[in-house]
Chain A
Amino acid sequence: MQSNSKPPVLALDGITKSFPGVRALKGVSFDVAPGEVHALLGENGAGKSTLIKIMSGVHTADTGTIKLDGREIAMTGPHEARRAGIATIYQELLLFPELTVAENVFMGHAPRTKWGALDWPAMRAKAQVLLDSLDIHDLDVAQVVGTLSVGNRQRVEILRALSQDARILIMDEPTAALTEHDVQRLFAIVRRLRERGVSIVYISHRLEEIFILADRVTVLRDGEHVATKAVKDTDNADLVQMMVGRRIESLFPKIDVPIGAPVLEVRDLVRMPQTRGMSLTVRAGEIVGLAGLVGSGRSELAQTIFGVTPAQSGEILIGGQKVSVRSVADARRLGIAYVPEDRGIQGLVRPMTVRENASLAVLSDVSRHGFIQRETEEKLANAAVRQFGIRTAGIEQIVNKLSGGNQQKIVLGKWLATKPKVLILDEPTRGIDVGAKAEIHRMMGELAGQGLAILMISSELPEVLGMSDRVLTVREGRIVAEFSRAEATQERVAEAMMGGTSHESSAA
């Protein structure tokens, strides 16, 4: 292992950090060698975020030392970290939507003319050089960031880190919001950076990525360091066991259930520009996987069925009856539920309590003549907490303070309270740790078993393949292929998603 031979560029030793009431880190040690991809694993709450925040200067450690190139440094703020060449790419991309790519890259350290003014031409030129160095050719430095895809926004963040001559790049779940195609491009970029000698701390819940990309892996659990191993010395089951502390039988506990009559039928649904005549059928007890790139129209299709953006033409049938869905309220009444892709914005009202979120989609059920019946509402919320095993201090807990997995369970609970016939899940396990992921998959199986028709949108092909009875692929607003569970393989689905264009070549 090349990484072990060189002295570490960054070494943390015996790091302890407490927050009021919580000990987030208990004597954790961690190091990164030059040109190494070091994966950091752990369930939510294991202390990963705290550790990277200490590395990037957002938090200060209570005890422990941080050494850069063997010299101990005092990390007093993000400024210090940046000066030390440590850059972080957070999960929630921190960009300025109204400003251009070039400006986003150079915000805070823009090139100046000799008069002290910003040197726009130089800024654009430098940004272009950075783009070229990473072989990115579909991004214009003058574009406004707000109009970019998620993948491109992330590239802007990476460019920003590189523009500051970062030697250590911390990436917090960089693939969580990416399409398969963008994931491949990210991998290419990461490899390129590694060749240049940049060290990368890589955090992901997708274990397969660790094996593709990382040199070493460190696992944290409950704020403690469990192990650091070379990737070649470990395997999937081993990692999961270290993370969870117990064995997980299967990530995709698919249960075979009898498939019934069609529940949801969609015919030639049109909503320009993203839904251009789509047809599909989901039957009772069936899980249909919908694969496609971001921007292919998969989420838009779901939102059209759900009434957020009502259809311009085409038919929706529920249980064989033609229905009209003009609003979310219509959809809800017809038994359509949608667990959206963006949990924080679309799925939940995060500053509200568990109780208030749990009842938000069924306010009419917990009220009489428009007055909310507090007891009914509490009963509903408590039932959801029990049924989905939501870890919370109580139903009066503010949702924002819960982990991603628990938040997702609340969204699920909120929509299942509407007693739907059709459940549309959009990226149901994005950014959720392994344990919770398995739990959600298990629930999906159970729900299908109860006769629910489930349409699942996912960018994670293993999830699509692992959970679906049938797989549909979407491209450019149309459904382009259908595979049975037996037919569906990673290659075939991916090829259908890309449409066999030259896209793939640039990713490799």
Chain B
Amino acid sequence: MSATEARAPKRLPLAPHEIVLVVILAIALAVLATLSDRFFTLDNLLNQGRLMTEVGLIAMPMTFVIVTGGIDLSVGSTMGLCAILLGYSWKNFGFPLELAIVFALLVGTVAGFINGWFITRLKVPPLIMTISTLALYRGLAEGISQAHSVRGYPEGFYLLGQGEVWGVPTQLWLLVVAIVIFAVILARTTFGRSLYAIGYNETGARFSGLPVDRIKLAIYTASGLMAGLAAWIFVSRVSTTRSDMGTGIELDVIAAVVLGGTSIFGGVGTIAGTVLGLLLIQLLKDGLALTGVKGDATIVVIGAVLILSILITNFAQRRREQGR
């Protein structure tokens, strides 16, 4: 009868787009591994993990932001600002290094909060707001640093960016923890559910009593915080602080998130997808380089994969819908 309790067929563990990505990733891995015997080694893979940590960390809150139908273009500039303030406060304010790190994370948080505040309170569209702060935050980084870089951190500072813990690059642990936390939040918590609801229908979410503005404020703030964290790791990895750090990283991050199947219109997306997107981009870049493809050609391949993967998913989806 009407009130059926028969459950819909169990959900697949992965969404269709993620299956497409896994297949592409598997093919790419297989091909690249046969072409270069140095590609599929633990050493290389761990090293690639180290290199993608910053993009990965920022991609986590970016997935949240895009799931709600927003966007944050200012992350690269926020990263530059945090990096500068980390070094500047340590050197010029005489902050102990620990305090300088906390200060940098705080600055990132505030930078994200400012984005979120304008977006929720004054209803500035996210794209416009973050395009403005993209210029503003980078400008502040340049102005504060007066183009001077800060170097010569104590040896211990480099553990995060260049060291290893139990044989795995230190920052990779952080990334893994972040992935788990963000994935659990998105998939399992009321907060995550609220993000999807906002992305699909913000008014409906508001009328259901969800604290829409507070949630949006929180994710833009988180975006700033993670940009600050990425700045810390980046400074530690490259041992210096410059105002142009993180330039253009927003496009790398968005490419990974979008490749991971998160819809730019909101409501759709998973952390698993984003992680697959990150891996695919990073391993393609690395693998192609190892098989002798130059950097410029690699960019072309990644652009094509981005379009193709979404294309395949669209086709698959349409086929399935027609088959119904």
Given A360-B208, A363-B193, A363-B194: A394 and B188 within 8 A (CB)?
Answer: no
Given A394-B7, A396-B8: A389 and B2 within 8 A (CB)?
Answer: yes
State the CA gap A390–B11 with chains docked (Å). 22
Those 10 A-B pairs whose CB atoms lie nearest each other, nearest first? A396-B8, A328-B209, A363-B190, A386-B3, A394-B8, A346-B207, A360-B208, A391-B2, A332-B209, A349-B201
Q: B210 within 8 Å of A by Cβ?
A: yes
Given A329-B209, A372-B193, A389-B3: A349 and B8 within 8 A (CB)?
Answer: no
Q: A327 within 8 Å of B by Cβ?
A: yes
Contact A20 B207, beta carbon cutoff 8 Å:
no
Q: B6 within 8 Å of A by Cβ?
A: yes
State the CA gap A4–B4 with chains docked (Å). 46
Given A351-B267, A356-B193: A338 and B207 within 8 A (CB)?
Answer: yes
Contact A20 B193, beta carbon cutoff 8 Å:
no
Contacts of B184 in A (CB 8 A): 371
State the CA gap A474–B228 with chains docked (Å). 54
- Residue among B194, B204, B207 facing the most chain A CB atoms (10 A cut-off): B207
State the CA gap A372–B189 with chains docked (Å). 5
Q: B175 within 8 Å of A by Cβ?
A: no
User: Taking beta carbons and an 8 Å cutoff, which residues of B are in contact with A?
Assistant: 2-8, 11, 184, 188-191, 193-194, 196-197, 200-201, 203-211, 267, 322-324
| Total inter-chain residue pairs, C-beta < 8 Å | 104
Residue interface mask A347-391, B partner, CB < 8 A = 1: 111111000100011011001001110000010001001100111
Given A20-B324, A347-B207: A364 and B190 within 8 A (CB)?
Answer: yes
State the CA gap A386–B11 with chains docked (Å). 23
Contact A349 B200, beta carbon cutoff 8 Å:
yes
Contacts of A329 in B (CB 8 A): 209-211
Given A370-B189, A393-B8: A308 and B3 within 8 A (CB)?
Answer: no
25 contacts between A and B (CB under 8 A): A327-B209, A340-B207, A347-B204, A348-B204, A349-B200, A349-B204, A349-B208, A350-B200, A352-B196, A360-B210, A363-B190, A367-B189, A371-B188, A372-B188, A378-B7, A385-B4, A389-B2, A389-B3, A390-B3, A391-B2, A392-B2, A393-B8, A394-B8, A396-B8, A397-B8
Contacts of B6 in A (CB 8 A): 393-394
User: Taking beta carbons and an 8 Å cutoff, which residues of A are in contact with B?
Assistant: 20-21, 308, 327-329, 331-332, 338, 340, 345-352, 356, 360-361, 363-364, 367, 370-372, 378, 382, 385-386, 389-397, 414
Given A329-B211, A394-B4, A396-B7: A349 and B189 within 8 A (CB)?
Answer: no
* In the complex, residue of chain B having the shortest beta-carbon distance to the beta carbon of A307: B209
* In the complex, residue of chain B having the shortest beta-carbon distance to the beta carbon of A348: B204
* In the complex, residue of chain A having the shortest beta-carbon distance to the beta carbon of B192: A372
State the CA gap A346–B324 with chains docked (Å). 29
Given A356-B193, A360-B197: A392 and B4 within 8 A (CB)?
Answer: yes
Contacts of A363 in B (CB 8 A): 190, 193-194, 210
Contacts of B204 in A (CB 8 A): 345-350
Given A21-B324, A349-B200, A363-B190: A382 and B208 within 8 A (CB)?
Answer: no
Contact A395 B209, beta carbon cutoff 8 Å:
no
Contacts of B11 in A (CB 8 A): 396
* Min CB gap A185→B, angstroms: 29
Contact A351 B2, beta carbon cutoff 8 Å:
no
* In the complex, residue of chain A having the shortest beta-carbon distance to the beta carbon of B268: A351
Contacts of B191 in A (CB 8 A): 370
Contacts of B200 in A (CB 8 A): 349-352
Contacts of A386 in B (CB 8 A): 3, 5
Supply 19 further A-B pairs (C-beta < 8 A) apart from A348-B204, A352-B197, A363-B190. A20-B322, A308-B206, A327-B211, A328-B209, A338-B207, A346-B203, A349-B204, A360-B208, A363-B210, A367-B189, A371-B184, A372-B188, A372-B189, A372-B190, A378-B7, A385-B3, A389-B3, A392-B4, A395-B8
